[in-house]
Amino acid sequence: MSVPGYHRPKSVEDAARLLAETDGARCLSGGATLVAMMNASLAEPKAIVSLAGIPELAGIAELANGGFRIGAMTRHAATAADARLAGTLAVLRDAARQIANPVVRNMGTIGGSIGFADPAADYPPALVAANAEVEIVNAAGRRRVAARDFFVDWYTTACGPGEFVTGVHLPPPRPGAGLYRKLARVSGDFAIASVALSAARDAAGVSVRIAVGGCGPRPIRADAADALLSAKFGDAAAAAAAGEALAAAADPVDDVRASAEYRRLVIPRLVAETVAHARAALEAR
Amino acid sequence: MRIEGSFVVAAPRERVFAEITNPALMAGCIPGCEAIEVIDPKTYRARILIEVGPIKARFNLVVEVKEEAPPERVVSVTRGEEGTRASVISSNNELVLVPAEGGGTEVKYVSEVSVTGRLGKFGLGMMKKKAEALGAKFAENFRGKIEAAAAS
Amino acid sequence: MTLALSINGRIRHVQAGLSDTLLTVLRDQLLLTAAKRGCNQGVCGACTVLIDGRPQRACLSLAANCEGAAITTLEGLQRDAGMARLQKAFTATGAVQCGFCTPGVLVSAHALLSHNADPRTDEIRAGLSGNLCRCSGYRKIAEAVAEAAKEAKP
Amino acid sequence: MSATAKAVGAALPRAEVREKVEGRAQYIADLYRPGMLHGAVLGSPHAHARIKSYDIREALAVPGVHAVLTGDDFGDHRMGAFIKDEHAIAKGKVRYVGEPVAAVAAETEAAAKLAARLVSVEYEELPAILSPEAALAPDAAIIHEDVASYFKVFDTGSTANVCSRTSLTEGDAAAWDRCDVIVEGRFATQPQAHVSLEPCGALAEPDATGRVTLWSANQSVFRVQANVSESLGLPMAQLRCLTPRVGAGFGNKMEPHIQPIAVKLALATGRPVKLILTREEDFEIVRARHPFKLRVRTGALKDGTLVAREVEVLLDGGAYADDSPGVLGYSLFMSPGPYRFQYRKASGTLVYTNKLRFGAFRGFGNPQVSFAGEQQIDEIAARLGLDPLAVREKSMLRPGDKWFGGAEVGSNGLEECIARVKAASGWAKRAELEPSAPGRKRAMAAACTAHISGLLATGAIVRMLEDGSIVLNTGAVDIGQGSDTALTQICAEALMVPIERVRLASPDTDGSPYNWGTTASRVTYTTGRAVVAAALEVEKQIKQHASEMLECDAADLELRPGGRVGIVGVPDKAVSFFEVSARAHWARGGPIIGHNSLVFERPSVDPKRAIAVGLPFPQIGAFAFGALVVDIEIDETTGKIEVKRAWSAADVGRAINPLAVEGQLEGAFVQGMGLALNEEMVWDGPRLANPTLMDYKVPTALDSPHEIHSIIVEAPEPDGPFGAKGVGEIGINVVPAAIANAAAIALGKRFNALPLTPERVLRAMLGK
């Protein structure tokens, strides 16, 4: 008895087929993004393929290698509450906790959020810092793309026509620290700028991944920054140099939240602060 | 909404000017341009599809060349709408060609774009960011076409 | 197209197209007007309802997508003891001024107390950070929620 | 409530709170009428253009459309609070992007919105004037070519793009020579959106005779009636204006928004028409707080005594005058602040631009001038090494002093306000405050303010029904600030009846006495006075009846709690209001009705003391006073300011309902925090770039401190109802100034532009 144009397939393959065959069809996950655009008559889909009926897309499952697969339909609230995302993976939990507000975190999903790929959203830099991979499906099958390559441009991802995100793969959590520092005008707003950092510590030393959000068409990262921080994690000069490298790699714009110039100014300061907090967390253990 | 940018093309100014005022070539360079039709030497009709995330906006535009000072300057006005007039767009565009060292040409473009309707209200932030990306893509396509032609 | 939705414990039949939201259906067809339209973009919180027990934005929920879900609006919580305590506390502490945000705030507060019976003030304010109020400055709202939680203690 | 408990002063719950917490309260968007159509408007794409022609054929062809109206369907009638410069819809010319150009009524909202988009309009674009400076340029395009011919309610001095100018001067300019320290500076404040949570809307229903009943989100049913009748050329009596519950206003709904268009659509279709603006249209079409540009000078002696203050302002008024001349005049009138000065001068110019009209918003210009004035007092204190509050105490207005221009000041509790916030905040030990974490700077600062409550006319009708219960009718709209409750308490107190025995009639231009509006913090004070006076007339009639029933002299009678009247000193000689009223209805004298009308009459300026040019209000109001202390922290990494605690004291004469007074002070503080820290309407060329709640952000529960201590000070106002004055606006006035003062102490940098965003603060910290 449902509405014409509304589909709720039971499997990923059915969903992929519907998307490929139906003209003007769009994926509906949590609705926080797509329905907001429909209300603004920015998006006028002729068909909706809801992913709510596909069991494998929900929930966070531990993988054989000790890593995790977060189904595309997993709501921010569930990701924010999952204690298994610890150590280096805590960066993702910290990010999920700071998305919008509790009510929207009950609706929004990780697949919907990263599919829309607003670079000021909280998951893109966090997934890069967590060294995650994004699982994509199309009519032909599934493939995985590293998060650092998944986010391509403003609101543009590696997903081609008819493709959609089915999940996120996280490497096994390594002992260490994971932090997401978000600067926004008010609580719940998109970031002016954000820093996502994971720091794995083992006998060999510290291995750091860092990414900056809100300051370019996609999450900003720099091999030099990762290298500098990993080599001398305790050193303030290294943190400053890493901050400068990331500011140089950034490509911020002026928008209603802040100016490009301010974003370049604040990136090194946020990086230095986040590194200091991560180091304190490591030393505390 | 002010969109500006510049890029260098390895070709002399006269050549670049000729191509930039050639609708057929421009059609291939403007990202999302689905059709271009010459109405008269000074007026073109173009249909451009812009996709930003789930937004699909197909613009029916009329481009009027206001001033032409070969080989250095073109001023044009674009007017049009998309969907059932869901958005109305108008922009004043200026293109300046400056000789660059090594015989190339620097193409500087500035557009003062006004969008009202659905895209103006909600999509302005996104459109501005997408416009920057479109500008870069145009430059890439245009340079590719000119330099390929020059090389052959 | 007719759609059967479970609203406040009863199946209600409504007409819905692909882009009709739950908020439009609740307000314009079922005349359940407690949920308010403050922004239609999921920011203000005045349209908050419970879907399968979780507070969500009715303006961002497509009616077609709500088939099979249990939808509860403020009108459906009138005989809920927890809601009665909240209503009493909001009345006594002066937490209601214009009242436009109140239904959404009460639904969010009700959900907050149902999974955190004794929240600290900062937890209450975090729990309500998705409900905008322009009149009260939030202080008396947070106090009212704390008051209702205290009342619930055995 | 027991018969003896007092009504005035009791922290009673809101009269209408039950329906609000049960979700039954009906706001404009919740109303439905049989056969109702839906309205929509088309906004102008241009900021300044002549309208050449319309083509409505495509719009009319949309299925379900009943009427498509353009400027041609509206007569050349104009409305406006101070200058009649505005049509009901754009006519002949458009003057800001988004200005309604066409309106449609259709079976469904979707059909109306589609049809509105399909109205095609041919424009001849004109140069857009987007700043006051551009408006004043010699060759600037003229926005209102025929401003000279508009009807004006005062000597505005309108010419070219100048909408009005005002100046007020008192004292001897030679005072500047006596100053040991003079500080001078230029300041700028930003446009702020009200963001009442309820978007504007209206529902108009014509009857067979063409008389229209109009419900709308408003702050004054009488201003709705006046504006609709003026802009449509209808006699006022042809309109009956009512109000559902209103989802806050803050000034946004004091003057008209979509009502005239809704009424015209209803008349054109003969059907009820409901038109509710989207949030985005509410941002783009209605009104906002004026951005100010100020040049301010303040002079003082070595010991901190304030000597001279001079203020010059330039206001962007937007496309139509609306309340702007009043905001200009009032901001100058309040610009010296609550201090003694030997010399005060304030002058300003208001100009038309091609932006949406700027109008009334809580504080009405006072927050803007205080942002400059209260910082200069702190700057003087810092230069002289004195305690900023001590400097204020030395020169504060004292009881008996007159206001700038010579206006009478009744009660004055400023001294107690300052003392109470000093004590509560631990002001003396403010230097010992420690930041809560490394990398943060902390500081405490203060500011003082005054505000009027008054202005213009109001009335009250108190009717005793047959059973002795009371119906009070005042025409005052409760927009959430609690006037229904406060006025009921005042009436119950005056007649010594339990509050449940008094019910308030909903404002209705057919039956309510005139009330200018819920604005200028005026309802408790002005309408409260009328209620007390009307109740007194009822008391006289009751005593007349009782004297005949108890065979005694009326002078020997007294009202007793619980609705009784008896002979003084003779407890058992009494009759009930029920018995009196039954007699009045069935035997003698006729039903008991008390009525009072008043207009605030005390002059704002004493010509012997001051020279006023173009002052838009010959009378102004009673004076309330306030003091604010804030405790803030600044994150040195990002420049972001967090307000940790605040103490806001206000002399409200008498708190009719302490809960409601605290609510006003706390709500005003957080709305003031938005103005201080991040709210800003941003233009991208001619169009508003952030007309959505995704892009224009207001403080949430996590951005505002839980520790907002509202402190009620009561210096009874001689002619106030039980001593009460207004409190609606005073709590917002100096929030930006106090936060800026604290930031200056924390960073050693002075901020002369709002908002104090992380960007602005970090730049100042780094000297960039």
Residue A57 in contact with partner chain D when CB distance is under 8 A: no
Rg of chain A (C-alpha set): 19
Residue A211: enclosing H or E segment and its boundaries? strand A205-213
Q: What are the distances in angstroms from CA A87 to CA A171, A176, A203? A: 11, 5, 15
Residues 6+ apart with CB under 8 A from D385: none
Per-residue H/E/C for D277-302: CCHHHHHHHCCECCCEEEEEEEEECC
> Could you tell me which chain A residue has the CA closest to the CA of D636?
A269
Residue positions counted in chain D: 768
CA D598 – CA D530 distance, rounded (Å): 7
C/D interface, count of CB pairs below 8 Å? 170
Q: Compute the C-alpha angle D430/D627/D728, nearest 5°.
A: 140
Supply the mean pLDDT for chain D: 97
Residues 6+ apart with CB under 8 A from B140: none
Q: What would the two tokens of residue C3 be?
A: 């759609």
Amino acid letter for position A57:
L
Residue D759: enclosing H or E segment and its boundaries? helix D758-766
Phi/psi at D728 (5° precision) = -60, -35
CA C58 – CA C73 distance, rounded (Å): 10
The mean pLDDT value for D90-111 works out to 97
Q: What would the two tokens of residue A216 be?
A: 């370019």
Amino acid letter for position D257:
H
- Residue A249 reports pLDDT greater than 80: yes
At A215 the pLDDT is 96
Report the candidate in D378, D386, D328 with the shortest Cα–Cα distance to residue D352.
D328
Q: How far is CA D626 from the centre of its chain?
A: 17
CA D364 – CA D260 distance, rounded (Å): 25
Three-class secondary structure of residue A78 per DSSP: helix
Residue D20: enclosing H or E segment and its boundaries? helix D17-21
Q: What would the two tokens of residue A214 be?
A: 């809100």
C1 or B33: whose pLDDT is higher? Answer: B33
Amino acid letter for position C42:
G
Hey, CA dihedral for D588, D594, D597, D601, is it positive or negative? positive
Residue C84 in contact with partner chain D when CB distance is under 8 A: no
Q: How far is A236 from chain D (nearest CA, A)?
A: 14
From the list B121, B125, B130, the residue facing A255 with the nearest CB is: B125
Q: What would the two tokens of residue D552 be?
A: 């005694």
Residue D678 in contact with partner chain A when CB distance is under 8 A: yes
Q: How far is D115 from chain B (nearest CA, A)?
A: 10
C1 or D509: whose pLDDT is higher? Answer: D509
Which of the residues A116, A179, A182, A262 would you substitute to probe the D interface, choosing the one with the greatest number of D C-beta atoms within 10 Å?
A262
In this structure, how many other beta carbons lie within 10 angstroms of the beta carbon of residue A53? 17
The answer to whether A1 contacts C64, with C-beta atoms less than 8 Å apart, is no
CA C62 – CA C13 distance, rounded (Å): 15
- Residue D406 reports pLDDT greater than 60: yes
Q: How far is D699 from chain A (nearest CA, A)?
A: 6
At D54 the pLDDT is 98
From the list A1, A38, A188, the residue facing C130 with the nearest CB is: A188
Omega prior to D206 cis, within 30 of 0: no
Residues 6+ apart with CB under 8 A from A66: A172, A173
The answer to whether D671 contacts C137, with C-beta atoms less than 8 Å apart, is yes
Residues 6+ apart with CB under 8 A from C141: C90, C95, C105, C109, C128, C133, D701
CA A156 – CA A153 distance, rounded (Å): 5
Place of tokens 């479970």: C6
Residue positions counted in chain A: 285
Q: What would the two tokens of residue D177 be?
A: 């020579």
Phi/psi at C109 (5° precision) = -65, -40
In this structure, how many other beta carbons lie within 10 angstroms of the beta carbon of residue D52? 9
Residues 6+ apart with CB under 8 A from A79: A60, A70, A85, A92, A93, A96, A110
Which of the residues A185, A187, A266, A273 would you substitute to probe the D interface, choosing the one with the greatest number of D C-beta atoms within 10 Å?
A185
Q: What are the distances in angstroms from CA D454 to CA C131, D9, D600, D602? A: 34, 21, 6, 10
- What residues in B contact A192, CB-CB < 8 Å? none
Give the tens place of pLDDT for each residue, C83-131. 999 999 999 999 999 999 999 999 999 999 999 999 999 999 999 999 9
CATH number at residue B74: 3.30.530.20
Helix axes D324-334, D366-384, angle to 10 degrees: 20
The mean pLDDT value for D666-686 works out to 96
Beta bridge partners of B62: B45, B79
Q: What are the distances in angstroms from CA D275 to CA D203, D217, D236, D668? A: 6, 11, 21, 30
The answer to whether B114 contacts D686, with C-beta atoms less than 8 Å apart, is yes
Place of tokens 């057929």: B24
> Could you tell me which chain A residue has the CA closest to the CA of B54?
A43
Residue D109 in contact with partner chain A when CB distance is under 8 A: no
CA C105 – CA C89 distance, rounded (Å): 13
DSSP E strands: which ranges in chain B?
Answer: 2-9, 33-40, 43-52, 55-69, 73-82, 87-99, 105-117
Per-residue H/E/C for D254-278: CCCCCHHHHHHHHHHHCCCEEEECC
CA A179 – CA A93 distance, rounded (Å): 9
Place of tokens 């987007």: D130
Q: What would the two tokens of residue B49 be?
A: 């599809």
Q: Which domains does chain C have, with CATH numbers?
A: 2-76 (3.10.20.30), 79-152 (1.10.150.120)
Q: How far is A72 from chain C (nearest CA, A)?
A: 17
Residue C72 in contact with partner chain A when CB distance is under 8 A: no
Q: Are D655 and D712 in contact (CB under 8 A)?
A: yes
The model's confidence at residue A152, banded by pLDDT at 50, 70 and 90, is very high
> Could you tell me which chain D residue has the CA closest to the CA of C99?
D20
Percent of chain D predicted with pLDDT > 70: 99
Residue positions counted in chain B: 152
Three-class secondary structure of residue B44 per DSSP: strand
CA A278 – CA B102 distance, rounded (Å): 50
Domain count within chain B: 1
- Residue B24 reports pLDDT greater than 60: yes
Q: How far is C139 from chain D (nearest CA, A)?
A: 6
Q: How far is A221 from chain C (nearest CA, A)?
A: 31
Place of tokens 């035997």: D587
At B152 the pLDDT is 62
Residues 6+ apart with CB under 8 A from A7: A15, A18, A22, A25, A47, A48, A49, A50
Work out the end-to-end distance of chain A between its first and last CA atoms, rounded to an integer number of angstroms.
Answer: 57
CA B87 – CA B59 distance, rounded (Å): 9
From the list D43, D114, D684, the residue facing B1 with the nearest CB is: D684
- Residue D1 reports pLDDT greater than 50: no
At D2 the pLDDT is 41
Residue positions counted in chain C: 154
Q: How far is D638 from chain A (nearest CA, A)?
A: 6
Residue A102 in contact with partner chain D when CB distance is under 8 A: no
Give the tens place of pLDDT for each residue, D375-387. 999 999 999 999 9
Give the tens place of pLDDT for each residue, D408-443. 999 999 999 999 999 999 999 999 999 999 999 999
Percent of chain D predicted with pLDDT > 90: 98
The answer to whether D689 contacts A258, with C-beta atoms less than 8 Å apart, is no
From the list C86, C99, C132, the residue facing D698 with the nearest CB is: C132
CA D289 – CA D194 distance, rounded (Å): 8
DSSP characters for B79-93? EEEETTTTEEEEEEE
Instruction: Sheet containing D707-713: give its strands across.
Output: D440-454, D621-635, D641-651, D707-713
Residue D190 in contact with partner chain A when CB distance is under 8 A: no
Amino acid letter for position A193:
A
- What residues in A contact D762, CB-CB < 8 Å? 262, 265-266
Q: What are the distances in angstroms from CA A202 to CA A235, A275, D262? A: 18, 17, 71
Domain that residue B22 falls in: 2-151
At D5 the pLDDT is 57
Percent of chain A predicted with pLDDT > 90: 85
Helix axes D528-549, D483-495, angle to 10 degrees: 30
Give the tens place of pLDDT for each residue, A172-230. 999 999 999 999 999 999 999 999 999 999 988 999 999 999 999 999 999 999 999 99
Report the candidate in B132, B100, B133, B112 with the shortest Cα–Cα distance to residue B11.
B100
Q: Compute the C-alpha angle B110/B113/B116, nearest 5°.
A: 175
Place of tokens 């004076």: D623
DSSP characters for D391-432? HHHHHB--TTPPPTTB-------HHHHHHHHHHHHTGGGGGG
- Residue D3 reports pLDDT greater than 60: no
The model's confidence at residue A284, banded by pLDDT at 50, 70 and 90, is confident
The answer to whether D687 contacts B120, with C-beta atoms less than 8 Å apart, is yes
In this structure, how many other beta carbons lie within 10 angstroms of the beta carbon of residue D138? 5
At D4 the pLDDT is 47
Is this model's pTM higher than 0.90 or not?
Answer: yes
Q: Which domains does chain D have, with CATH numbers?
A: 17-24+456-599 (3.30.365.10), 31-126+200-276 (3.90.1170.50), 292-396+405-454+605-766 (3.30.365.10)
The model's confidence at residue D518, banded by pLDDT at 50, 70 and 90, is very high
Do the strands B105-117 and C54-57 form a parallel or antiparallel pair, or are they unpaired?
Answer: unpaired
Per-residue H/E/C for D454-499: ECCEEEEEEEECCCCCEEEECCCCCCCCCHHHHHHHHHHHHHCCCH
At B54 the pLDDT is 73
CA A243 – CA A226 distance, rounded (Å): 10
